[in-house]
Structure 1
Amino acid sequence: MPQCGLRMNNVSFLKQWGKKYGIGIIVGLLLSVGFLVMDADRWISVHTLNQKTAKYTVVIDSGHGGVDPGKIGVDGVYEKDINLAIAKQLQKVLERNNCQVIMTREADQGLYEESDTNKKRADMAKRVSIMNGCDADVVVSIHQNSYTDATSRGAQVFYQATSESGKQLAAKIQETLKRDVAPDNRRQIKANADYYLLKNTTSTMVIVECGFLSNLQEAKQLQEAEYQKKVAQAIGMGVLYYLGESGETKQRKEDSNGDENTAGQSGAVWR
């Protein structure tokens, strides 16, 4: 499967070609075969020599929804609404970069039946079913954070404690969030052994906490369309960098003898 993210170490190679043959010629050549895609005000690198087959499958999970609002911000904003807005922007970024995107939800709805007595459990089980049923290369679950300390702020990416591929994906996304959204963000990726989705999803997965709704300033930013787009672009870039550097993700996962922890539900923390 061709890569939808250009390897970072190919940049020096392109520079050498540019010096030898002229940057205009090289850019024209790359555009002709689909290496570069313009996304807003920046170039996003993609590797799409074969447009029909150059696709990774990415599941975007917009946390909460329906009767479950998620965190409620200090100004009354619902986490579920911000999650969905950012998820839709992320979908655009990845689809423009030749990735097949599967959304767990596309409206304000939970993934449960009205007859379910435990809607939260039913909702989470359905999300896992979607994630595991499509053999995804990457799963990204979008969430917002909250804390008793109103000064807490900054995006943070979580991954399953036993997943090396999840750790690598988390590192790429944390890096691009810091670079493109908040250079002063000192938060680091964090392993977690209890989150239900991380424990029960077999694909490489991360949970992205995009910011703190308990911080008034950050809560307001997270409700702004342009800021949501910036966050989504940063997450998308991290995903593309990971895919570009990990090579054939499915094959690597098969060779790893199952590094993902698919433990049962006991002790699970809903997220």
Structure 2
Amino acid sequence: VNIYPQRMMKLSVKNDGKESQVSFVARKNIVYVSAIELASALNANHYFNSKSAKVELKFSDYNLKFTAANQFAVLISRKDNSQEILQIPLSTLYIGSDVFIPIQYTSNLIERAMGGKIVFNSGKKHIDVFGGKVEPPVAVQVEESDTETGYRPPLVEKEIVNSPYDIYDLTIDEKSNGTLIRLKSQKKIIKQPRSSIKDGKLYLYLSGVTFDLQKIRSTKTAGLVRTVEFKDIAGNFQLEFKLKDGYSTHETFLDIDNNDILITIHNKKFEHTESPVIDNMKKWEFDVVVIDAGHGGKDPGAIGITGAREKDINLAIALKLGKLIEQNMPDVKVVYTRDDDTFVELYKRGKIANENNGKLFVSIHCNSLGKGSEGVRGFEVYLLRPGRTKKAIEIAEFENSVIRFEENPDRYQELTDENFILVSMAHSQYMRFSEKFSEILFNDWHKSVEIPARGIRQAGFYVLVGASMPSVLVESGYISNKQDEAYLKSSAGQTAVAKSIYNSLVEYRNYYNQEFEDTGG
């Protein structure tokens, strides 16, 4: 979605004695610069894909890719094509036919890509560039890391294809939340393929491509797929997947990085009571907020450095937040997954949210680390995606460990990166709203809360999986830290946290309503 017209200004860039200007916009003291113009100022080439709203800055050893309205960048090695996914606290902007990036949070990424140094002077609106490589590629090894700034996935060898066909293979894999079908393609598929489900069969329609029929007919079925058939109807090709009982919805995607076509068929394990495809404005109305106080009852959650129980802090903040909403937003219904010291299973929390047709799900928690990490403090907000840092994965593992208190913990298959693809895709329609609320909360936090904001993270939390709506998990602070624990134990601290979440919710609702007014639902 292209954002509203901005007042465009110019900042200066000095690179190797040469001065140039780059367009920028300012939002809440954050400077967003034109990625395309910055590439030129850095003497780098660039590639812009208007269909996917992606821009790629091309340096000698690395390419750096940004996507509009997204908080993730991809650093690509030109030596071996390996990729590193990097997270920034704020989403990029889409203005005109350009991606604008928050320079305060991306200069370090650009430095890695270019092999030089960037110094941004916010007051003077000036960038100084030192060094950097723009000559033909010379291999440079970047030390592999697993830190707060990013995660380097295992290097996967590029598949060598020796086939005369466009669609040269078909694989079907069972995942924790359904079945993943992948059509491997050598040809760039430009148009989104059509697909539908009727009478227990999933149909995929394609034209203008060739198929390796032998491969397709010998495909080993799995999961929800019983059989596969191929039909040629006057040059229009149709793949027909006969399904087993137990499917709910499906989605079809283009994997723009490798040309493949992906189809996800969701099973009913985490099925919600209402379809996410809502056809009238009344059902989209922002009228229900679901507040989830983490842990409870026989599950105390984390224990603070002086003995504070996470479950008590979470509940206190949740009730204060709910009271603020009820007092100031009478047209918004507050739904608690728990409003006292009781234990509620994780899957039931999502079920409660769906049954009440929630428009936003906020899960409230506190963080804790082991001995030796008492100095770590700060607030974090998490989105539902595979964990990209060691610490994020550890936090998710702790929060997910609550299932040991449940009668049937086997209902949750481990959310590995492999199994996560279906969950992430199912939530993709809500992700931009989840990201927006996270961004608003991150920016508002420091105004009323005395705990520093550490950033927006991603990890796999079971409690977020079942909620079919925009959803975030808030880690209010580290109760393994004396300062954070004392603050979060106090009524004043709990009120400040609740107030920050409430203020963010008010701003988010305005954004949410504006989005649906502009799109007509």
Are the equivalent residues in 2 in contact too, given 1:160–1:167 (CA < 8 A)?
Answer: no
Structure 1 counterpart of 2:479, one-letter code:
L
Q: 1:109 aligns with which of 322, 325, 342?
A: 342
Matched with 2:445 is 177
Q: 1:208 aligns with which of 461, 464, 474?
A: 474
Deviation of the 1:73 alpha carbon:
0.7
Cα deviation per residue 1:52-106 (whole Å; 9 max; x = unaligned)? xx96210000010010000011111110000000001000111122221011111
Matched with 2:221 is none
Determine the C-alpha separation between the residues in 1 that align with 2:323 and 2:453.
Answer: 28
Matched with 1:238 is 504
Kindly indicate whether residue 452 of structure 2 is the aligned counterpart of residue 197 of structure 1. no
Kindly indicate whether residue 375 of structure 2 is the aligned counterpart of residue 142 of structure 1. no
Are the equivalent residues in 2 in contact too, given 1:55–1:100 (CA < 8 A)?
Answer: no
Q: 1:128 aligns with which of 350, 360, 370?
A: 350
Deviation of the 1:200 alpha carbon:
2.3
Are the equivalent residues in 2 in contact too, given 1:147–1:214 (CA < 8 A)?
Answer: yes
Kindly indicate whether residue 489 of structure 2 is the aligned counterpart of residue 223 of structure 1. yes
Determine the C-alpha separation between the residues in 1 that align with 2:355 and 2:519.
Answer: 16
**1:102 aligns to what SS in structure 2?**
strand
Structure 2 counterpart of 1:171, one-letter code:
E
Kindly indicate whether residue 397 of structure 2 is the aligned counterpart of residue 164 of structure 1. no
In structure 2, relative to structure 1, the CA distance for the partners of 1:185 and 1:253 (3 Å cut) is farther
* Structure 1 segments unaligned to the other structure (5+ residues): 1-53, 112-122, 256-271
Matched with 1:68 is 299
Determine the C-alpha separation between the residues in 1 that align with 2:307 and 2:453.
Answer: 27
Q: 2:319 aligns with which of 88, 91, 116?
A: 88
Matched with 1:58 is 289
Determine the C-alpha separation between the residues in 2 that align with 1:254 and 1:207.
Answer: 29
Are the equivalent residues in 1 in contact too, given 2:301–2:310 (CA < 8 A)?
Answer: yes
In structure 2, relative to structure 1, the CA distance for the partners of 1:226 and 1:75 (3 Å cut) is same
Are the equivalent residues in 2 in contact too, given 1:61–1:140 (CA < 8 A)?
Answer: yes
Structure 2 counterpart of 1:177, one-letter code:
W
In structure 2, relative to structure 1, the CA distance for the partners of 1:190 and 1:252 (3 Å cut) is farther
Are the equivalent residues in 2 in contact too, given 1:243–1:249 (CA < 8 A)?
Answer: no
Determine the C-alpha separation between the residues in 2 that align with 1:107 and 1:253.
Answer: 40
In structure 2, relative to structure 1, the CA distance for the partners of 1:103 and 1:250 (3 Å cut) is farther
Determine the C-alpha separation between the residues in 2 that align with 1:253 and 1:65.
Answer: 40
Count of residues paired in the alignment? 189
Deviation of the 1:174 alpha carbon:
1.6
Determine the C-alpha separation between the residues in 1 that align with 2:483 and 2:455.
Answer: 21
What's the TM-score once normalised by structure 2's chain length? 0.35
**1:142 aligns to what SS in structure 2?**
strand
Deviation of the 1:126 alpha carbon:
1.0
Are the equivalent residues in 1 in contact too, given 2:445–2:453 (CA < 8 A)?
Answer: no
Higher strand share: 2
Structure 2 counterpart of 1:210, one-letter code:
S
Are the equivalent residues in 1 in contact too, given 2:487–2:493 (CA < 8 A)?
Answer: yes
Determine the C-alpha separation between the residues in 2 that align with 1:241 and 1:87.
Answer: 19
Are the equivalent residues in 2 in contact too, given 1:137–1:249 (CA < 8 A)?
Answer: no
**1:227 aligns to what SS in structure 2?**
helix
Kindly indicate whether residue 309 of structure 2 is the aligned counterpart of residue 78 of structure 1. yes
In structure 2, relative to structure 1, the CA distance for the partners of 1:201 and 1:253 (3 Å cut) is farther
In structure 2, relative to structure 1, the CA distance for the partners of 1:76 and 1:142 (3 Å cut) is same
In structure 2, relative to structure 1, the CA distance for the partners of 1:206 and 1:253 (3 Å cut) is farther
Structure 2 counterpart of 1:189, one-letter code:
I
In structure 2, relative to structure 1, the CA distance for the partners of 1:253 and 1:226 (3 Å cut) is farther
Deviation of the 1:240 alpha carbon:
1.1
Are the equivalent residues in 1 in contact too, given 2:290–2:353 (CA < 8 A)?
Answer: yes
Are the equivalent residues in 2 in contact too, given 1:137–1:250 (CA < 8 A)?
Answer: no
Are the equivalent residues in 1 in contact too, given 2:322–2:334 (CA < 8 A)?
Answer: yes
Q: 2:376 aligns with which of 130, 133, 152?
A: 152
In structure 2, relative to structure 1, the CA distance for the partners of 1:100 and 1:214 (3 Å cut) is same
**1:61 aligns to what SS in structure 2?**
strand
Are the equivalent residues in 2 in contact too, given 1:84–1:106 (CA < 8 A)?
Answer: yes
* Structure 2 segments unaligned to the other structure (5+ residues): 1-284, 386-427
Determine the C-alpha separation between the residues in 1 that align with 2:351 and 2:520.
Answer: 20
Kindly indicate whether residue 474 of structure 2 is the aligned counterpart of residue 188 of structure 1. no
Deviation of the 1:221 alpha carbon:
1.0
Aligned Cα root-mean-square deviation (Å): 2.3
Instruction: Give 1 or 2 for the bigger CA radius of gyration.
Output: 2
Are the equivalent residues in 2 in contact too, given 1:156–1:188 (CA < 8 A)?
Answer: yes
Deviation of the 1:188 alpha carbon:
1.2
% identity of equivalent residues: 33
In structure 2, relative to structure 1, the CA distance for the partners of 1:92 and 1:68 (3 Å cut) is same
Structure 1 counterpart of 2:376, one-letter code:
S
Are the equivalent residues in 1 in contact too, given 2:305–2:481 (CA < 8 A)?
Answer: yes
In structure 2, relative to structure 1, the CA distance for the partners of 1:211 and 1:233 (3 Å cut) is same
